Amino acid sequence: MSERVKARILGDDYTIVGDTDPEYIHRLAELVDRKVRELQLGMPNAPKLKLAVLAALNFADELEQSKNQTGESGPSSPEAEEKTKKLITLLEEGLIGDL
């Protein structure tokens, strides 16, 4: 059953709907909020969209570095791919739903 989770990122409220544990979604939202605020300190006048894209690039870099450290060179596991797809869907639904 899908649940609605309210999260606040950079002062904006988002409603995220998904089958993922609400506590997990809150932890992800807190992580994203911290990263975006960290970037905002260095670029206080940057638009929120730019900060969000830079945060996404930071997370992608961290993921790639993590893969390189574990020696993972092939495609990720089906479970990891499924979780990634779910997270992308949650983000898209959350962002689009609040526009």
Is the pTM above the cut of 0.75? no
Residue 35 vs residues 4, 9, 28, 95: alpha-carbon distances, Å: 23, 10, 11, 17
Which of the two residues, 54 and 85, has the higher pLDDT score?
A: 54
Helices (H), the chain: 22-42, 48-70, 78-97
Helix (H, G, I), strand (E, B) or coil at 95: helix
| Per-residue b or e along 42-57, where b marks 16 or more CB atoms closer than 10 Å to that residue's CB | eeeeeeeeebbebbee
CB 51 within 8 A of CB 39: yes
The per-residue pLDDT for range 35-81, each reduced to its tens digit, is: 999 999 999 999 999 999 899 999 888 888 888 887 655 556 677 77
Q: Residue 52: which of 35, 27, 28 has the closest Cα?
A: 35
Report residue 92's pLDDT band, with 50, 70 and 90 as the boundaries: low
